[in-house]
Amino acid sequence: MMRLDYMICNNCNYRETCKYVYKDLYFSWENECYIQHVNECLKEWNNIHLEYLGSLSRILGIRREEVDMVIRMSMLLHDVGKLTKLYQRKIREKVQLEGFKHEVLGSAYTFKLLNELKLNDEIPYVAGWAVLLHHEALRRNLKPEQLIIPMNNP
């Protein structure tokens, strides 16, 4: 009889059966599994999306439903770089990773996926930059106006 080793996240009860990556859960941060983190992001978007869909639709030039899809896809992919063995080692062993930025991988995946959808030429850049910079204000203590990137410079 084959035995499955289940790892259970104490925070969200997510069950992990994969035994190929450290026989453990994928963590977004200490004591928070990746799936829990993404679900929390989506939950927050669900709480505020009606406030922002109209404005974002006008600014981006796409329908409200498309804005919602772009935001949700960006949220799903924004921390995908945390699923790498390197990042998981950082979390588990508390090692410093010089030069490794998980958001670079998330930005690349977000850009690629949204570029393939062909909503408009700017959407992949806007979402890709948003994912790339989602920790930048925290790292540099930047003000919102310092994060503005001209749309005509892809």
DSSP assignment, residue 7?
Answer: E
Cα separation, 39 vs 85, whole angstroms? 22
Question: Is residue 70 one of the residues assigned to a domain?
Answer: yes
The overall average pLDDT reported for the chain is 76
Cα separation, 43 vs 32, whole angstroms? 15
Number of domains in the chain: 1
Helical ranges in the chain per DSSP H: 34-60, 64-77, 85-93, 102-117, 123-132, 136-140
Question: Is residue 13 one of the residues assigned to a domain?
Answer: no
CATH number, domain of 64, equals 1.10.3210.30
Question: Is residue 63 one of the residues assigned to a domain?
Answer: yes
Question: Is residue 47 one of the residues assigned to a domain?
Answer: yes
Question: Is residue 9 one of the residues assigned to a domain?
Answer: no
pLDDT one-digit tens code per residue, 11-33: 555 444 443 333 455 666 666 67
| Domain hosting residue 64, numbered range | 37-147
Burial zone of 4 (CB within 10 Å; 0-12 exposed, 13-18 middle, 19+ buried): exposed
Question: Is residue 30 one of the residues assigned to a domain?
Answer: no
Question: Is residue 17 one of the residues assigned to a domain?
Answer: no
pTM of the full structure: 0.70
